[in-house]
Amino acid sequence: MAGKCNALIPPTLLIMLTGTVMIMMEAGTSWASNSPDYADALSKCILFFEGQRSGKLPSTQRMTWRKDSALRDGSDIGMDLVGGYYDAGDNVKFHFPMAFTVTMLAWSVIDFGKYMGYWDKKHALEAVRWGSDYLLKATSVHHVVVGQVADSNGDHNCWERPEDMDTPRTSYVINETNPGTEVSAEIAAALAASSIAFKASNAKYSAFLLHRSKQVFNFADGYQGSYNLSIGEVACPFYCDYSGYADELLWAAAWLYKATQEAYYWEYLEQNIHHLESIVVRNIHGNPYVGASFAEFGWDAKHAGINVLVSQWVMKDDSNDNPYILNADKFVCSMLPESPSKSVTYTPGGLLIKPGGSNTQHATASSFLLIVYSLHMSIAHKLVRCGDVVVTPSRLINIARSQVDYLLGNNPLGMSYMVGFGPKFPRKIHHRGATLPSIHKHPKKLGCRDGDKYLYSQNPDMNQLTGAIIGGPAGDDSFSNSRMDVGQTEPTTYINAPFVGVLAYFKATARKNVGF
């Protein structure tokens, strides 16, 4: 499937102007349409997080087919761990990707909240707080961080609604003797970023988040060790840490510096930057994939995100040789289709592809970084050079826009990969709550295997998980439209989280032409 040529798609058009290479359009014109409704997509992208909520749901819950769930979480260790998010189509609370989700939601609000409008920003902050409140609970005991709630294997052996769960809701703890630096540091980053997001609207809450972030960072740095060793029996193979935990420590330090401007965190970044100069190993269907650290960004590897985040403080002009800038530039060059050092591929229709499944996570996260970096470049009057190719800030915006438009339906299949957006979108996704009838329609409990007939059914989902972005198509733009193809049809919170900021930006640019 991957690499298959689509004869209907014309070759990429290259236009050379004074030594600068610009690709005007990655996608062919046979399916091209007007720009999608970014404002509608933004509202739905934020709404999705209400469908992933765990715990006691508020009276303001808009996705009403979801009900209260997991109300005794934490009781096995005497803690209140009610709340938080289910990461994907299962009912486990994996705190490593959850914390990354919260970090990216907060970053979306920090950099792009001004473009959202009152109601979208309000709901985005509610999404941040649903996560940050929970992460406060998970770190409420000194030198203890809860790294996960629920037995992954038990949960994945059942197809149950969150409201019916009867699989073990075990709490898995990180502490001084069983450290988990990557999950602890990512939580510290999430709390620091959330403190910035709430600083203008709730100063007291913001200060509390920041205080806890510092405590958790000190614990993560002071008691180092991988959570693969402490709770790996349940975290793996779903969310093993393959990139090491040095990136999470630097990521947290960068967010704490942004939140405090304290010299300690800047010195930490300066003294430990060498840890980013390494290869990164990712898990691809159980096999290791080795990549350059500067090109990686997601729930596991934070390298490219660190470089882009720090660039705002060290970017001066086009001749800047700061290592954070050099690595951010290399990330840009790894993304561009015309770059001689490109390390990704694109489908014939133009979607970014990296090895492994759920490719939309790379498209949304990379698009976010490209937009943020382009804005930093514009302020500094900087260009990026990829060999003989000279890249302008607007070029990065165009790359990001091509990814957004593809995901929202401007692709060979005319398929929106956001549930509920546009006339054609996936209606058989790999998600328990969406697949199974709601309690309204089926009040009787559905046991562990009672949901199998819905899982294997060819009928559309019983409930619409509006705003969910699923894993997306294969490398030849084909889409299986099967619940059993998990890589293509499962949504995750960390796919949606960076897309919130991306859509807010394009909502504004479509109206005001901001940033061009």
User: Is 146 in contact with 94 (CB distance < 8 Å)?
Assistant: no
Would you give the distance in Å from CA 271 to the centre of its chain? 28
Residue pair 130/117 in contact (Cβ under 8 Å)? The answer is no
Kindly name the residue from 430, 431, 440, 442 that is annotated as catalytic.
Answer: 430
Report the Cα 344 to chain-centroid distance in Å: 18
198: nearest Cα among 212, 184, 185: 212
- DSSP symbols for 410-470: -STT---SBTTSSSS--SS-S-HHHHSPPTTT--S---TTTTHHHHS--SPPSS--TT-BB
**Helix or strand (DSSP H, E) at 391:** strand 389-391
17 forms beta bridges with: 20
- Is 142 a known active-site residue? no
Q: Can you give the length of the chain in residues?
A: 516
Alpha-carbon separation of residue 162 from 90, 166, 176, 406 (angstroms): 8, 9, 32, 32
- Cis peptide, bond prior to residue 168, ω within 30 of zero: no
Burial 442-470 (b: 16+ CB within 10 A, else e): eeeebebebbeebeeeeeebbbbbbbbbb
Write the DSSP symbol of residue 66. Answer: -
Is 503 within 8 Å of 405 (Cβ atoms)? no
The count of other CB atoms within 10 Å of the CB of residue 319 is 7
Alpha carbons 310 and 326: distance in angstroms, whole number: 12
Question: DSSP class of residue 317?
Answer: S
CA distance 368 to 312: 15
Active-site residue numbers?
Answer: 430
